[in-house]
C-alpha cells in the first residue's frame, strides 16, 4: 500500500512529462520571442515567417497553446488541414476551436466540424455567423458526400460583363446567373430564394454536375439591382478549388474539371494563401528590394488595385497621389513605379487610395486589394486543391486601361461591379406567356444578346 500512496502524488508530474496539458503554457523566454515574432509576421501577412516562428517556438515550448494555435492558423492559410488539426488537438481556447472547426469542414469532415463549432459557439462572447450556419448544415449530414462530381469537364460561355465574371449555370435544376467571388469561401445563394443554409447541386453546361454543395444565404438584391441582372449566387473559393476552375475573362469562358489541368504553355505557377481558409490572398512586391506584401483578391470589386496608407508608403509613390475630377473627392490615384505579382511585372499600373476595405479582415494588415480588373489580366486556373494557380497573362494587359469613373465607385454593397449589359432573366416569361424557368437539367443556361465580335482567344479546357 505504501507504493500506491507514493505513486499517486507523482501521477500529474508523470503525465506532464509524457505529454502535458495542451492548454498549459511551458513557454520559455526564447519561445516567447518566437511567439511575438510569429504574431507580428502573421499580422503583416508574412505567413511563411509566421509559420517558421511558430515551429521554432514549439521546439522550445512544445505544449504552449498560443504557439500551437499560431502554428495551426498559419497551416490554414496553406489549406494544410491535417497540420491544423494536429496542432489544435486538445486545445480549448476559442481561436483554436474556430480553426479546428474550419479545418474539419474544409477537409470534408462535416459532422466532426459541427461538433467542434457547437462547442465553440457555447462561449457567450462568440458571435460568428459562419460557424452558426455551418453547424446547422452539419446536423444530419451523415448521408452527404460534399462536392460529389459527375462529369469530366464543363465549359460555360460567360456574358460580356466588363471585368466581372458572371457564370450562367443551374442551381438545383433552375437556370441562374452566378458571380465569381474570391473574397469569400462558400457558395452563397440569394436569401430571397432560400432562407436557411442548405445542400444544393450545381450544373455547368450539359455534362458536368456537382452535388452536395454547402450553400449559405445572403441578400443579393442590391447587387442584382446594381448590375441590372438577376444574380442568384456567388461562387466562392471553396467551390473554385474543388472544381479546379479556370476563370478566363478575356476568352469569356468558365471551365470546371474533375481533375487538375496540366500546365498550359507560357503559364506560371503562383502560390495561393487564404484568410481563415476562405478569402483568397496573393503576395506582391511594391518595391524592388522590399519584402512581399499581402493583397486580398476580390473578383467582386471593379478596380485594378487599391492600397492602404502603409502600402502607398512602401511603394514610394504616396506623394504622387492626387485627386481626379471623375472620382469621388476622397479617392486619390497614382501610378505605381514598381509592382510585381510573381514573375509578372505590373509596374506603372494605376492604383487607388481611399476605397474602403473589408472591415471583417481584422487580424491581417493587408497592403491592399487586387480587384477584378487585375484578375482579368490572367487566365486563372486553380490547381493542387487550391494551393496554387496557373497564371496565363493577357499580352494586351493595361492597354486602354485607366482610372474608374465616379459612378463605378459610388457607395454600394461589397460585391461592387461595373454596370453589366442587359442580361435576360432566366425566370421571366416571354411575350407569348411561356415561362423561361425550367427544371430540365439538360436545358441551357441563359445567354446575353449578341455582342460585338472579339478576337478569338478561347482555349481548349
**Confidence band, pLDDT 50/70/90 cuts, at residue 227:** confident
> Hey, is 41 helix, strand or coil?
helix
Instruction: Give me the residue label for grid cell 432573366.
Output: 425
What is the pLDDT confidence band of residue 150, given thresholds at 50, 70 and 90?
very high
Closest CA to 76 of 276, 352, 223: 276
Whether residues 272 and 397 fall in one domain = yes
Domain boundary among 85, 110, 138: 138
- Cβ-based neighbour number of residue 216 at 10 Å: 23
Q: What does the pLDDT read at residue 93?
A: 96
What are the phi and psi torsion angles at 345 (to 5°)?
-95, 115
Q: What is the mean pLDDT of residues 147-154?
A: 97
Mean pLDDT of 440-448: 38
| Window from 75-79, 158-162, 243-247, 304-308 with minimum mean pLDDT | 158-162
Closest to 454 in 3D by CA, of 149, 248, 281? 248
**Residue at which a domain ends, from 391, 409, 427:** 409
CB atoms within 10 A of CB 268: 16
| 8 has a pLDDT exceeding 90 | no
State the pLDDT confidence band at 141, using cuts at 50, 70 and 90: confident
CA distance 92 to 105: 18
Task: Decide if pLDDT at 398 tops 50.
Answer: no
Q: Is residue 423 part of a domain?
A: no
Overall average pLDDT of the 444-449 stretch:
38
User: Is the pLDDT score of 83 beyond 50?
Assistant: yes
Lowest mean pLDDT among 129-133, 173-177, 357-361: 357-361
Contact predicate 236/245, CB 8 Å: no
Rounded to an integer, what distance in angstroms lies between the CA atom of residue 377 and that of residue 394? Answer: 5
Do 35 and 106 share a domain, yes or no? yes
3-state secondary structure of 390: strand
What's the Rg (C-alpha) of the chain?
Answer: 24
Claim to verify: residue 120 and residue 204 sit in the same structural domain: no
CATH of the domain at 276: 2.40.70.10
- Give the integer Cα–Cα distance in Å for 194 and 123: 28
Residue 289 confidence (pLDDT): 83
* Contact predicate 138/110, CB 8 Å: yes
Instruction: Please report whether residue 325 resides in a domain.
Output: yes
Residue 453 has pLDDT above 90, yes or no: no
Q: Are residues 272 and 394 in the same domain?
A: yes
CA atoms within 13 A on the CB side of 108: 10
Are 99 and 57 contacting, i.e. CB atoms less than 8 angstroms apart?
Answer: no
Cell of residue 161, nine digits:
460583363
81 domain-assigned: yes
Q: Examine the fold and report which residue of 409, 426, 443 is the final residue of a domain before the chain moves on.
A: 409
The cell numbers describing 333, all together, are 490615384
In this predicted structure, what is the pLDDT of residue 409? 42
Instruction: Answer whether residue 330 is part of any domain.
Output: yes
Greater confidence (358 vs 109) lies with: 109
Classify residue 459: in a domain, yes or no. Answer: no
Instruction: Tell me the pLDDT tens digit for each residue of 43-78.
Output: 999 999 999 999 999 999 999 999 999 999 999 999
Domain holding 238, by residue range, is 148-257
Q: Kindly state whether residue 417 falls inside one of the protein's structural domains.
A: no
pTM given for the model: 0.82
End-to-end CA distance of the chain: 76
Element (H, E) at 66: helix 65-77
Q: What's the pLDDT score for residue 309?
A: 92
**Same domain assignment for residues 131 and 157:** no
How far, rounded to the nearest angstrom, does the alpha carbon of residue 69 sit from its chain's CA centroid?
A: 21
Q: 75 and 44, same structural domain? A: yes
pLDDT tens-digit map of 242-261 = 999 999 988 999 999 999 99
Q: Give the per-residue pLDDT at 424.
A: 46
Residue closest to 95 by CA, chosen among 132, 65, 124:
65
Residues 161 and 32 in one domain: no
Segment among 28-32, 106-110, 247-251, 398-402 with least mean pLDDT: 398-402
User: Is 371 in contact with 416 (CB distance < 8 Å)?
Assistant: no
> Are 399 and 281 part of one and the same domain?
yes
Residue 402's pLDDT is what?
40
Q: Nearest-CA neighbor of 233 among 264, 204, 193, 279?
A: 193
Residue identified by cell 460561355 is: 157
As a whole number, the mean pLDDT across the chain is 83
Q: What is the C-alpha separation between 372 and 381, in angstroms, rounded?
A: 15
Same domain, 272 and 400: yes
**Within this chain, do residues 134 and 157 fall inside the same structural domain, yes or no?**
no
What would the pLDDT profile of 90-139 be if each residue is shown by its tens digit? 999 999 999 999 999 999 999 999 999 999 999 999 999 999 999 999 98
Cell of 94: 476559442
Q: Say yes or no to pLDDT of 438 above 70.
A: no
Residue 446 predicted with pLDDT over 80:
no
Looking up residue 40, the CATH number of its domain turns out to be 1.25.40.10
State how far the Cα of 283 lies from the Cα of 268, in Å rounded to an integer: 15
In a domain, 242, yes or no: yes
Q: Would you place residue 18 in the very low, low, confident or very high pLDDT band (cuts 50, 70, 90)? A: very low
Percent of the chain with pLDDT over 90: 67
User: Tens of pLDDT along 331-343?
Assistant: 999 999 999 998 8
Distance separating alpha carbons of residues 197 and 189, to the nearest angstrom: 9
Long-range CB contact pairs, 314-323, < 8 A, 24+: 314/286, 314/287, 314/290, 314/367, 315/286, 315/287, 315/339, 315/351, 316/287, 317/351, 321/353
Residues 6+ apart with CB under 8 A from 166: 158, 159, 177, 178, 179, 229, 231, 420, 423
Across 389-402, average pLDDT: 68
Cell numbers for 155: 465549359
* Domain-located, residue 272: yes
Alpha carbons 451 and 461: distance in angstroms, whole number: 23
Residues across the chain: 461
Domain count, the chain: 3
pLDDT value of position 452: 42
Same domain for 22 and 129: yes
Percentage of the chain beyond pLDDT 70 is 79
User: In this predicted structure, what is the pLDDT of residue 397?
Assistant: 61
Q: 227 and 333 share a domain?
A: no
Band (pLDDT 50/70/90 cuts) for residue 358 is low
Tell me which H or E stretch contains 167: strand 166-171
| CA 196 – CA 203 distance, rounded (Å) | 21
Amino acid at each position: 500500500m505504501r507504493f500506491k500512496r507514493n505513486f499517486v502524488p507523482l501521477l500529474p508530474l508523470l503525465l506532464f512529462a509524457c505529454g502535458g496539458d495542451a492548454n498549459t503554457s511551458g513557454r520559455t523566454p526564447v519561445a516567447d520571442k518566437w511567439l511575438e515574432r510569429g504574431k507580428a509576421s502573421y499580422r503583416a501577412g508574412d505567413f511563411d515567417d509566421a509559420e517558421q516562428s511558430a515551429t521554432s517556438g514549439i521546439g522550445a515550448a512544445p505544449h504552449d497553446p498560443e504557439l500551437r494555435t499560431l502554428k495551426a492558423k498559419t497551416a490554414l492559410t496553406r489549406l494544410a488541414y491535417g497540420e491544423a488539426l494536429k496542432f489544435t488537438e486538445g486545445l480549448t481556447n476559442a481561436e483554436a476551436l474556430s480553426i479546428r472547426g474550419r479545418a474539419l469542414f474544409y477537409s470534408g469532415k462535416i459532422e466532426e466540424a459541427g461538433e467542434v463549432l457547437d462547442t465553440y459557439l457555447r462561449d457567450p462572447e462568440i458571435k460568428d455567423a459562419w460557424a452558426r450556419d455551418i453547424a446547422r448544415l452539419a446536423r444530419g449530414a451523415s448521408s452527404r458526400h460534399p462536392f460529389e462530381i459527375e462529369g469530366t469537364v464543363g465549359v460555360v460561355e460567360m456574358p460580356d460583363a466588363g471585368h466581372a465574371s458572371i457564370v450562367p449555370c443551374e442551381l438545383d435544376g433552375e437556370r441562374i446567373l452566378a458571380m465569381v467571388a474570391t473574397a469569400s469561401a462558400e457558395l452563397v445563394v440569394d436569401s430571397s430564394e432560400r432562407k436557411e443554409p442548405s445542400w444544393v447541386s450545381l450544373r455547368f453546361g450539359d455534362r458536368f454536375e456537382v452535388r452536395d454543395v454547402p450553400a449559405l444565404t445572403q441578400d443579393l438584391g442590391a447587387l442584382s439591382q446594381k448590375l441590372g441582372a438577376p444574380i442568384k449566387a456567388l461562387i466562392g473559393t471553396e467551390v473554385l478549388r474543388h472544381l479546379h476552375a479556370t476563370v478566363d475573362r478575356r476568352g469569356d469562358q468558365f471551365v470546371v474539371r474533375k481533375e487538375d489541368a496540366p500546365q498550359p504553355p507560357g503559364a506560371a505557377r503562383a502560390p495561393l494563401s487564404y484568410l481563415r481558409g476562405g478569402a483568397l490572398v496573393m503576395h506582391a512586391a511594391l518595391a524592388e528590394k522590399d519584402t512581399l506584401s499581402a493583397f486580398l483578391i476580390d473578383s467582386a470589386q471593379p478596380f485594378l488595385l487599391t492600397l492602404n496608407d502603409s502600402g502607398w508608403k512602401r511603394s514610394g509613390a504616396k506623394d504622387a497621389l492626387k485627386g481626379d475630377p471623375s472620382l469621388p473627392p476622397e479617392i486619390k490615384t497614382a501610378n505605381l513605379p514598381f509592382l510585381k505579382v510573381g514573375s509578372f511585372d505590373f509596374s506603372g499600373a494605376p492604383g487607388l487610395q481611399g476605397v474602403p476595405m473589408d472591415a471583417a479582415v481584422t487580424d491581417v494588415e493587408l497592403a491592399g486589394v487586387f480587384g477584378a480588373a487585375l484578375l482579368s489580366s490572367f487566365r486563372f486556373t486553380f490547381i493542387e486543391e487550391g494551393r496554387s494557380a496557373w497564371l496565363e497573362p493577357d499580352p494586351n494587359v493595361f492597354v486602354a486601361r485607366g482610372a474608374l469613373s465616379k459612378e463605378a465607385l459610388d457607395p454600394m454593397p461589397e460585391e461592387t461591379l461595373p454596370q453589366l449589359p442587359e442580361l435576360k432573366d432566366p425566370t421571366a416569361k416571354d411575350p407569348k406567356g411561356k415561362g423561361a424557368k425550367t427544371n430540365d437539367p439538360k436545358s441551357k443556361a441563359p445567354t446575353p444578346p449578341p455582342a460585338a465580335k472579339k478576337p478569338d482567344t478561347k482555349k481548349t479546357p
